[in-house]
């Protein structure tokens, strides 16, 4: 028998819940006390059904009931809405958060999850690992999985539930696996790890087969005595974490070095070329030869980069708040020099004043002047949407988060997201695999989640005593093949890793 819900009546014949708002259509009252009780009678606070049903559960029941009555398009006080979108928002509004002990300062500057092949005492197998970088320059591997299947020697970091709090009544679902800090899988770099990006090289094999080979692009910020560098971490061959020689040291090599700071980087999915954001401009690096070609020069640091449009165009987010679009392809007639541009913009402090004097910003490069936009403060993060790369998300250090359309960029943002807290920190935006939500930490140490389409703030709360500065979504997991040979279903949960000075956290909620 389905559980009783306060304010609802369950009809066994129709197999549905009905609200207690008077006689039900097509039914008659019985003489039993349970059915004859007036619907307006006050329910005791000690009633078990009230304590066992949260507000989210009631909203879920009402939402499902409305879908049964009206279909996918539901009428509400604010107009018509889509059932699937509203249900997704409801699930995401109640996430479950786990903290991993012993991971303090790990992943506070760069964080990525990937799948690699490893050699163990039982043989070769595939494993999920977190590749983390911190502001102290430590580059480390963490295995993600069950504690009794860890790769080799290491430190076990167990998950601890930090949200919801113990007093709240909410289903927490399956406990995530342990994280193992692997011995021999850490390397101290010369300076802060400013960026980690994954890419795959494709090589033809026998019988015209093609193999995907995983690599990682790693950049360092640089220090007072030396500039930043670009590295490639080779993850092609199976890794053996049981050896005494550090695994990363044997697999990493420097591609290019600079005499300036490297704030950020991005690379083509095939790994042929990388773009680097520095305090002198943007540069293109040939990942095979290490050849450096400058594609943008200016007096403002580039804090964010994003390759778009078949990876021939790059978005550059500058310290002065400008977002410029650059063609990375070399033009033969200007190989040895970059085109000069004077881009107009109205300073933020004059926009609300009575003056309309305009200033000009000088840049050199293959820039599309008509695709330039100015945000109120330094650009913190840029994310291009995959379903249509004409849309991109941008955040700035005044707390603004906006969605832009390249076709309408002169008209400003097509959507805004309120509530973000920032003043001077480079905080990453994260977009879930279905591109339904955008997430970010804040300087107030809160984690926030917005619906990309509506701009609605879905979740906001504090569960870590540090700024969640990095985020990466967990890759889709699949169940192993069964005896029938068919691959099992995908994991129907949406989860993200968060990195901060307070350690690694994992946020998840059910996915429709």
Q: In angstroms, what CA-CA distances link 134 with 127, 335, 342, 464, 511?
A: 23, 37, 37, 17, 31
Alpha-carbon gap, residue 27 to 207, rounded angstroms: 70
Range scoring the smallest mean pLDDT among 47-61, 85-99, 240-254, 376-390: 47-61
Domain count, the chain: 1
Q: Cα angle vertex 483, ends 478, 484, to 5°?
A: 90
Q: What does the pLDDT read at residue 447? A: 97
Q: In angstroms, what CA-CA distances link 196 with 139, 276, 415, 433?
A: 10, 12, 29, 19
Q: In angstroms, what CA-CA distances link 248 with 101, 233, 242, 426?
A: 23, 7, 13, 27
pLDDT at 205 over 50: no
The secondary structure element, H or E, covering residue 65 is helix 55-70
Alpha-carbon gap, residue 136 to 87, rounded angstroms: 42
Q: Does the N-terminal peptide bond of residue 164 adopt cis geometry, omega within 30 degrees of 0?
A: yes
Per-residue DSSP letter, 367? B
Q: Is residue 64 part of a domain?
A: yes
Task: For 252-306, write each residue's pLDDT tens digit.
Answer: 999 999 999 999 999 998 889 999 999 999 999 999 999 999 999 988 999 999 9
Q: What does the pLDDT read at residue 36? A: 36
Q: Is residue 106 part of a domain?
A: no
pLDDT level of residue 130 (50, 70, 90 thresholds): very high
Q: Is residue 84 part of a domain?
A: yes
Q: Is residue 439 part of a domain?
A: no
pLDDT level of residue 342 (50, 70, 90 thresholds): confident
Q: What does the pLDDT read at residue 10? A: 67
- Indicate the angle between helix axes 83-92 and 55-70, nearest 10 degrees: 170
Tokens of 87: 């249900």
Determine the structural domain holding residue 86 and report its residue range.
8-92
Residues 83-107, mean pLDDT to the nearest whole number: 89
Alpha-carbon gap, residue 482 to 27, rounded angstroms: 48
Strand positions, DSSP E, 58-167: 73-76, 79-82, 96-100, 110-120, 123-133, 138-145, 154-157, 159-163
439-469 burial, b for 16+ CB within 10 Å, e for fewer?
bbbbbebbbbbbbbeebeebbbeebbebbbb
pLDDT at 310 over 90: no
Q: Is residue 376 part of a domain?
A: no
Q: Dihedral sign, CA of 323, 328, 334, 335?
A: positive
Q: What does the pLDDT read at residue 182? A: 78
pLDDT at 487 over 50: no
More confident position, 235 or 191: 191
Contact 463, 447 (CB under 8 A): yes
Residues 86-98, mean pLDDT to the nearest whole number: 89
Report percent pLDDT > 90 for the chain: 45
Q: Is residue 26 part of a domain?
A: yes
pLDDT level of residue 172 (50, 70, 90 thresholds): low
Alpha-carbon gap, residue 87 to 269, rounded angstroms: 34
Residues 84-109, mean pLDDT to the nearest whole number: 90
φ, ψ (nearest 5 deg) of residue 318: -100, 165
Q: Is residue 192 part of a domain?
A: no
Q: How far is CA 453 from the centre of its chain?
A: 16
Per-residue DSSP letter, 490? B
pLDDT level of residue 70 (50, 70, 90 thresholds): very low
pLDDT at 212 over 60: no
Residues 470-497, mean pLDDT to the nearest whole number: 61
φ, ψ (nearest 5 deg) of residue 328: -80, -10
pLDDT at 392 over 90: yes
Task: For 421-446, write each residue's pLDDT tens digit.
Answer: 999 999 999 999 999 999 999 999 99
Residues 98-118, mean pLDDT to the nearest whole number: 92
pLDDT level of residue 119 (50, 70, 90 thresholds): confident
pLDDT at 3 over 70: no
Q: What does the pLDDT read at residue 99? A: 95
Report percent pLDDT > 70 for the chain: 70
Alpha-carbon gap, residue 452 to 435, rounded angstroms: 7
Strand, helix or coil for residue 371: helix
Q: Is residue 242 part of a domain?
A: no
Alpha-carbon gap, residue 506 to 472, rounded angstroms: 10
In the block, residue with structure tokens 């881009």: 343
What's the pTM? 0.78
Strand, helix or coil for residue 349: helix
- What is the maximum span of the chain, computed from C-alpha positions, in angstroms? 93
Non-local (6+) Cβ contacts of 462 within 8 A are 444, 445, 446, 447
Q: What is the DSSP secondary-structure string of 23-60?
A: SPTT----SSHHHHS-TTPPPPTT-HHHHT--HHHHHH
Alpha-carbon gap, residue 380 to 429, rounded angstroms: 9
Q: Cα angle vertex 211, ends 208, 213, to 5°?
A: 155
């Amino acid at each position: 028998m389905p559980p009783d819900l306060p304010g609802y009546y369950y009809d066994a014949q129709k197999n549905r819940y009905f609200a207690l708002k008077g006689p039900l259509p097509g039914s008659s009252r019985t003489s039993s006390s349970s059915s004859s009780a007036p619907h307006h009678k006050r329910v005791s606070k000690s009633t078990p059904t009230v304590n066992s049903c949260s507000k989210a559960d009631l909203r879920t029941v009402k939402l499902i009931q409305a879908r049964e009555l009206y279909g996918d398009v539901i009428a509400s006080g604010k107009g018509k809405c889509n059932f699937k979108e509203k249900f997704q928002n409801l699930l995401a509004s109640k996430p479950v958060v786990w903290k991993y002990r012993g991971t303090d300062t790990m992943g506070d500057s760069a964080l990525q999850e990937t799948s690699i092949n490893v050699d163990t005492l039982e043989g070769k197998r595939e494993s999920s690992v977190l590749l983390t970088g911190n502001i102290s320059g430590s580059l480390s591997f963490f295995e993600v999985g069950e504690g009794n299947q860890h790769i080799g020697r290491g430190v076990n970091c167990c998950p601890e539930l930090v949200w919801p709090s113990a007093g709240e009544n909410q289903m927490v679902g399956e406990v995530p696996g342990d994280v193992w800090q692997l011995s021999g899988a850490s390397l101290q770099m010369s300076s802060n790890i400013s960026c980690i990006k994954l890419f795959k090289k494709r090589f033809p094999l026998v019988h015209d087969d093609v193999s995907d080979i995983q690599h990682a692009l790693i950049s360092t910020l640089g220090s007072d005595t030396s500039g930043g560098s670009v590295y490639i971490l080779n993850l092609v061959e199976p890794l053996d974490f049981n050896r005494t020689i550090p695994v990363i040291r044997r697999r990493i090599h420097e591609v290019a070095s600079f005499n300036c700071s490297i704030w950020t980087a991005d690379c083509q999915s095939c790994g042929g070329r990388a773009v680097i954001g520095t305090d002198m401009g943007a540069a293109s690096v040939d990942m095979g030869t290490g050849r450096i070609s400058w594609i943008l020069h200016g007096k403002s640091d580039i804090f964010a980069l994003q390759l778009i449009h078949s990876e021939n165009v790059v978005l550059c987010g500058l310290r002065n708040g400008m977002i410029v679009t650059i063609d990375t392809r070399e033009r033969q007639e200007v190989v040895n020099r970059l085109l000069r541009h004077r881009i107009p913009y109205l300073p933020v402090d004059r926009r609300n004043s009575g003056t309309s004097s305009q200033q000009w910003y000088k840049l050199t490069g293959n820039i599309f002047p008509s695709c330039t936009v100015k945000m109120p403060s330094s650009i913190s993060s840029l994310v291009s949407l995959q379903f249509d790369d004409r849309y991109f998300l941008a955040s700035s250090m005044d707390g603004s988060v906006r969605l832009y359309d390249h076709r309408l960029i002169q008209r400003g943002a097509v959507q805004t997201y309120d509530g973000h807290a920032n003043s001077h920190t480079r905080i990453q935006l994260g977009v879930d695999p279905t591109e339904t939500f955008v997430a970010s930490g804040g300087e107030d140490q809160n984690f926030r989640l917005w619906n990309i389409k509506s701009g609605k703030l879905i979740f906001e709360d504090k569960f870590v005593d540090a700024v969640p500065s990095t985020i990466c979504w967990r890759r889709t997991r699949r169940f192993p093949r069964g005896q029938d040979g068919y691959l099992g279903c995908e994991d129907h949960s949406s989860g993200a890793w968060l990195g901060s000075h307070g350690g690694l956290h994992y946020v998840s909620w059910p996915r429709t």
